[in-house]
Structure 1
Amino acid sequence: MHVPRPVFSIWRAVRSRVKPLYCSHYHSTTVYNPTTTAKCCVAPRTYCTTAPEGEVRVRFAPSPTGYLHLGGLRTALYNYLLARSKNGKFILRIEDTDSTRLVPGAAEALYEMLQWAGLEPDESPVGGGSHGPYMQSERRHLYQQHASALVDNGAAYRCFCSKFRLELLRKENARQGERPKYDNKCSTLSTARADKLVQQGTPHCVRLKLRPTESFHDLVYGEICNTLEDVEGDPVILKSDGQATYHLANVVDDHLMGVTHVLRGVEWQVSTPKHILLYQGLGWTPPALAHLPLMLNTDGSKLSKRQDNLRVEHLRSAGYTARSLLNFVIGGGLVNKDNSCIYTLDDLVQKFDISRITTNPSRIDMERLDHLSRMDLHRSIQHQSEASNTRQQLRRLVQDTVCLKSDDPVLRDEFLSRVMDWSITEPINRLQDLMDPKFRYLWTAPTTTTSSTSDSSLEQQQQAVSVVRLVQRSVQAMSEEEYTRDGLLAMLKSTHETLGMKKPLFMKTVRLAMCGTTQGDAVVDIFRTFGRDEALRRLQCYLDLNKLQSDSTSNT
């Protein structure tokens, strides 16, 4: 079911006025034990922090700081395929905590593009679910409570360093040619001193204590060991304004939403030790981790949300189908290495195997996308179950592009089907290619009796009229059974021999009458694509137009 963007906005407005029914323990002043699942003391509801035993739960968690591009689509697809292949749940979570970078309408566009691609979430801000809310901006109190739990457990500490001192540190690091690094000064503050500063209203943030961690297993890259404490200072996990950073928010949300597998871009691999420390500090078991190799531009540079030409919305508008884009982003190492097949979403679910994901970065190759798009177009034409829908799409495309009455003959099923069949033999990658000006003749009859590249003499025009009239009578004499390629070839041969014309001139004349151009497809193929009725209509249109122009010249 398609959910329009206004519904998303209405949902947010309603949720902002409704206080979440979380367990009363979350609002109490007593010591909070983050390792237990709390039950609400005042309402018959359990706040879920674990998934049903054995259920695979994955999430796609984009930030609405830009629109969905191909890299994001691939991440969403891999998560969706893992969930569906294991009969699990696919969750959409919107990470909108950084209000300074939010793009208006981006969250709604993200959801709309997932729906268009067929990647319908089981739980989301729109559809809801038992582990919501699914907007991070509505989970702020959870992050604050878990940050406090980390401080109480000694896994984090409050930092009271002023902006001025931090700026001095950055300048000193720069002077010595070092990367910016906090010196962990506040990590040595006693609990009593920190509590006193808090009571005095001293601004502060919360920092995670970095310490050596063991290597972790990446389902794609194998054993990974990153040493962070040697290259950076203790990171902020809760800002002075009470807003959580990415690291804390993700760990808390993934645990409370029962996420069992995290599939994300490899750029987050270096941050994983921080996340493991957060899990350990809260007494939780981390989910299985899989980092996906980079998708790169053709020149090897990283993709950016600011590349409008790689936005899914832009590619949809350009006429690429969801199926062709999904086959494109999934990459050659998973299911379609030889690019010889186009797979449905159900096919991809059946074939998906996370162990087959390679560590090799993939580069955007638009020629490959066009190739996949062409195969997808052929499939949608040749498969009976899809042909009707493809024909309807083409009809709407023609109506939107060319001003035609709804009863125009070129909008009939028979004509559209012939055009679709003909397109398979042409270098056409998308239905939208059929709207190119060079194919205008398919949808509208010529509006002139002469070629745009030459002016015909009166004698030549009279000769053309004679040709068209004879061809018209010949076609009228053909039955539907005779209107075949062989029958048309025989008719054209007989007609040009009867007129005593050279074949090239004869064919150019007929092509001009039917298409308005002297160059293009073979005349016999034009007749076959148009069909008998449309061919006769085009020939009559030419004769009527010629008469109108002749009458106009005579009156002048």
Structure 2
Amino acid sequence: MVLRVSKCLKEYTSARRSGSAHQMVLLIDDNFQYRSLRKRFFHLATKAKCGFGLVYVNTPITTCRERNAVRGDSARVPDEVFERMVTVFEAPNGCQTSWEVNTWEVKQMEDAANIEEAMNALIQQASREGKKRRLAQMDAQRKAAQQHRDRLSTQQSVLHLVDLQLRQWISTQLQDENTLTSGLPKSQLAFQLNQRKKSYLASMIQSYSNIVDSIHVQGKSIKEVFMLLPRLRHRVPRWPSLFTLRSCSSRTNNNDTLRSTNVRVRYAPSPTGFLHLGGLRTALFNYLFAKSCGGQFILRIEDTDKTRQVEGSVEALVDSLKWCGVEEDEGPNLGGPYGPYIQSQRLPIYQEAAKKLIESGHAYRCFCTSERLQKLRESQTRHGEATMYDRACLGLDEKEVEERVARGEPYTIRLKIPDGKTAVKDMLRGYVQFDHGGIDDQVLMKSDGYPTYHLANVVDDHAMRISHVIRGEEWLPSTPKHVILYKALGYEAPTWAHLGLLLNEDRTKLSKRQGDVAVEDFRTTSILTLHFNSRAQDKGFIPSGLVNFVALLGWNPADGNNQEIFAMKELEKLFSIDHVNKAGSVVNVDRLRWINSRHVRTLFAEEVASDEHKLAVVNDVLLMISSDLEEVGLPSTPADVVEKFGLDYIWRAMYLMKERVSVLPEFGLLCMPFFTNPDLSSSVAQDMKIMYIDESTADLVADVCSNLCNLSDEEFTPDHITKSIKAVAKNRKLGLKKVLMPVRYYLTGMDVGAGLGDTIELLGLETVLRRLKFSEVTCIT
């Protein structure tokens, strides 16, 4: 029935949109059907911007007028519409349900005229009443809306006046104090000033009657106004945040507060291969957080899992971070006051912590073999249970444990998870609560005497005075275990922030098992080729571009700042953990290419173009295009190429193409015409030949050569060269493109590139004439 009604409603809606002035009446004789369909009808009516009448009839149609069985709004309908609806709801033969038995059987009624008259009267009456109700509702809504606007206006006026009064009061109080010392650094002065403002506001809130009575709005005290306006009354406890001077944003205040503490963060990778983009993001955010707060960034190598270690990966990790400009303040190479910074060199510290946990009853020895644990997991999986340790060794008495240890029986040490719940405060997610019933008794020490990540992580973070732990979201489920460990060892826990995952463009998790996720895959040069002989692809992204892109994976600058291109120094100043998003971030390579292209342009900025800088950039690019150079018979080593063409010539060629380059290898194709003759057999060149070269091209090119030869050495500049080519087009009454493209074809063999005037100037008149003279034997005749 619902489907049949919906079909009629769609047809009726189309008729209304085409200009029909009639309303529709649906006659339903069953209370249940009426209630179930009523909401659907009025939703469609609102969507179609028209009215629907809904009449509920619980008696034969002839008694409608006497019973007044009308519910909802209705209006007059044409006879054909009414007959149509009666047909829709007509009961089929043999139906037994209440609504079907009592459906109107118009064709069997004797007095059709009486039926129509009764329905018309019924509909007209309901229409008039419905219209009155709608008008009354509209008036009430307009009045309520106006009252709401007036109330908001009054509240804003009150807030503005209170804000001014409070600022004036604070300024007066501050002027009376002489405790600030002019010899302090500006940052400390600003911090003390802000703290004073907060303390004055806090004391004022506790007993605010001493000032609110002196503030009047429209003849009433602020206290009276607050009592009259509920919304403002609820604002009273939030005065400190509401009226703090606006020049101190939340980001600035937070960083100022952190600057007064000793912020120490760390990045602790495992040497299991290359540096993942997610790892770089974690290291970068820790580094930027430390620099923005005046803290220290520590690099620690967590190499306790010997089965997964890859030789040379430590060097690769350190080199990748250094290449990106993420340099540690303390670490394996630099040392520091809390070293060593490689976990395999700190084993006695972990063993002592594990012993302390056993003695205090927060951990226990487990003698279960790997075979038993495997069978336990399989059994739990078959029964649909969570795979957790069953605490079989928790109940062993002390004497039995000592005997088994004395016999040399291998064992692990497990953390005893207490009953209850743990609430973890996260800087990005707020409080996250975990029920201990779902937390396994984690292995802390393996049978080989090496700690697991959980114990080593907590012990080292405490020993190295780590104040903030910024890591990936995948570690959030492990955090309650760490909280329990901190409490069991009597340590003060750090502040946590768990970053959202990095995602592919289809929003699946970015994984090391997929391609193009290693920093090495994006580098201009790769240390992995030395250590692993791997598939490093050397895509040619530059450090500043990759860092800029990774910084924006979850972080954004302050509100209203649409800047997307940042240097590392800018990131160090602007970064704030308050502007980090907890949601996952999509790794869009197209956006990476766009950001990198902007940073490539900065390589060729005039203010940094010293000879040392030029040589460094040219060497990087030549390394990336060495295979292209070899293919055309040119030297493949940067030193030989520079010796052959000269540093300035190569630099100028790359400078001309910088606007068209996203990654460094693209310089190879674009700059090759400056190093060797163009490849006129390429597909691009063949297409250009078909489009632009004909029997008249030789004469046209000869005119261009003649004009170029007439230029003096002083006039051989891009502007004069372009004017001479335009003169040829004007004399021949051709469009400029008809002249430019044949010349570009013979000079470069490419349909894109630098401006033709710049290209000709750099190639030199001799090379240009030689290549253009070639047109005499290649033009179509």
The residue aligned with 2:589 is 366
Pairing partner for 2:604 from 377, 381, 393 = 381
Q: 1:491 to 1:217 in 2, by over 3 A?
A: same
Matches within 5 A, 1:521-540: 525-531=755-761, 534-540=763-769
Aligned twin of 1:335: 557
Choose which of 521, 530, 545 in structure 2 pairs with 1:324: 545
1:42-191 aligned at under 5 Å gives the runs: 54-191=261-398
- Contact conserved, 2:680 with 2:686, CA < 8 A, in 1? no
Give distance in 2, aligned partners of 1:237 and 1:340. 46
Residue pair 1:159, 1:186 contacting (<8 A) in 2 also: yes
* Corresponding position of 1:218: 426
Matched with 2:413 is 206
Decide whether the 8 Å contact of 2:296 with 2:329 is kept in 1: yes
2:301–2:343 contact (8 Å) kept in structure 1: yes
Q: Which of 706, 711, 721 is 1:488 aligned to?
A: 721
What is the CA-CA distance between 1:440 and the residue it aligns to?
Answer: 2.9
User: SS in structure 2 opposite 1:230?
Assistant: helix
Cα shift at 1:505: 5.9
Which amino acid in 2 is paired with 1:299?
A: D
What is the CA-CA distance between 1:288 and the residue it aligns to?
1.4
Quote how far apart the aligned CAs of 1:314 are.
Answer: 0.8
Q: In the alignment, is residue 259 of structure 1 matched against residue 466 of structure 2?
A: yes
CA distance in 2, matches of 1:349, 1:501: 55
State the Cα RMSD in Å: 3.3
Structure with more helix by fraction: 2
Q: 2: distance between equivalents of 1:214 and 1:240? A: 29
Q: What is the alpha-carbon distance in structure 2 between the residues aligned to residue 245 and residue 336 of structure 1?
A: 39
State the Cα distance separating 1:126 from its structure 2 match: 1.7
SS at match of 1:453: helix
The answer (yes or no) to whether the contact 1:445–1:541 under 8 Å persists in 2 is no
- Match among 398, 418, 435 for residue 668 of structure 2: 435
Q: Which moved more, 1:166-175 or 1:264-273?
A: 166-175
Q: CA deviation at 1:78?
A: 0.8
Aligned partners of 2:373 and 2:739: how far apart in 1? 84
Q: CA deviation at 1:245?
A: 0.9
TM-score by length of 1: 0.78
Task: Please give the alpha-carbon distance, in whole angstroms, between the structure 2 residues aligned to 1:165 and 1:202.
Answer: 15
The residue aligned with 1:21 is none
Give the Å deviation of 1:157. Answer: 0.7
- Structure 2 partner of 1:417: 652
TM-score, structure 2 as length reference: 0.57
- Per-residue Cα deviation, 1:245-303 (whole angstroms, up to 9, x for no partner): 11011011111122111111111111111111111111111111111111111111212
Cα deviation, residue 366, structure 1: 1.2
The question of whether the paired residues in 2 share the 8 Å contact of 1:67 and 1:106 is answered with: yes
Deviations 1:411-456 (A, max 9, x none): 44266336424532x4x323332223x5532432336699963999
Residues 38-59 of structure 1, C-alpha deviation per residue, up to 9 Å, x if partnerless? xxxxxxxxxxxxxxx9422111
Mean Cα displacement is larger for which, 106-115 or 402-411? 402-411
Decide which of 674, 678, 685 is 1:446's aligned counterpart.
678
Q: Map of 1:265-276 to 2, 5 A cutoff?
A: 265-276=472-483
Q: 1:203 to 1:407 in 2, by over 3 A?
A: closer
The secondary structure found in structure 1 opposite 2:425 is strand
Following superposition, the deviation at residue 116 of structure 1 comes to 0.3
1:536-555 to structure 2, matched below 5 A, reads: 536-542=765-771
CA distance in 1, matches of 2:368, 2:654: 71
How far does the alpha carbon of each residue in 1:130-180 deviate from its partner, in whole angstroms, 9 at most, with x for none? 222222122222212211111011110111223333233222212211121
Q: List alignment gaps of at least 5 residues for structure 1.
A: 1-52, 551-556
Q: Report deviation, 1:237.
A: 0.8
Q: What's 1:47 paired with? A: none
Question: How many Å separate the matches in 1 of 2:291 and 2:672?
Answer: 43
User: Closer, same or farther in 2 for the Cα pair 1:391/1:357, shift >3 Å?
Assistant: same
Greater shift after overlay, 128-137 or 392-401?
A: 392-401
What residue number does 2:704 align with? Answer: 471
In structure 2, C-alpha distance between the alignment counterparts of 1:530 and 1:546, rounded to whole Å: 16
**Shift of residue 359, structure 1, vs aligned partner:** 1.2
Is the 1:449–1:545 Cα contact (8 Å) retained in structure 2? no
1:214 is displaced (CA, Å) by: 3.3
CA–CA distance in structure 2, aligned partners of residues 321 and 362 of structure 1? 21
For 2:544, the aligned partner's letter is: R
Q: Deviations over 1:289-324 (max 9, x none)?
A: 111111111111212223331211111121211111
Count of residues in Structure 1 that have an aligned counterpart in Structure 2 = 487
Equivalent pair of 2:357/2:363 in contact (CA under 8 Å): yes
The question of whether the paired residues in 2 share the 8 Å contact of 1:380 and 1:387 is answered with: no
Q: 1:354 aligns with which of 552, 555, 577?
A: 577
Distance in 1 between residues matched to 2:316 and 2:771, nearest whole Å: 48
Residue 306 and residue 213 in structure 1: after superposition, are their counterparts in 2 closer, same or farther (change >3 A)?
same
1:169 aligned counterpart, secondary structure? helix
Work out whether 1:515 is the aligned partner of 2:748: yes
Of the three residues 175, 196, 199, the one matched with 2:403 is 196
Structure 2 equivalent of residue 554 of structure 1: none
2:758 & 2:577 partners in 1: Cα distance?
48
Q: 1:174 to 1:485 in 2, by over 3 A?
A: same
Which sections of structure 2, spanning at least 5 residues, go unmatched?
1-259, 524-537
Question: Which structure ranks higher in relative contact order (CA pairs < 8 Å, sequence separation ≥ 6)?
Answer: 1
Partner of 1:49: none
Cα separation, partners in 2 of 1:149 and 1:302, compared to 1, 3 Å: same
Aligned residue in 2 for 1:230: 437
Does the C-alpha gap of structure 1 residues 263 and 464 become closer, same or farther in structure 2, counting only changes over 3 Å? same
Q: Pick the structure with greater CA Rg.
A: 2
Contact 1:514/1:535 (CA < 8 Å) preserved in 2? no
The alpha-carbon deviation at position 509 of structure 1 amounts to: 3.9
* 1:289 corresponds to which of 476, 481, 496: 496
Q: Which residue of 2 aligns with 1:313?
A: 520
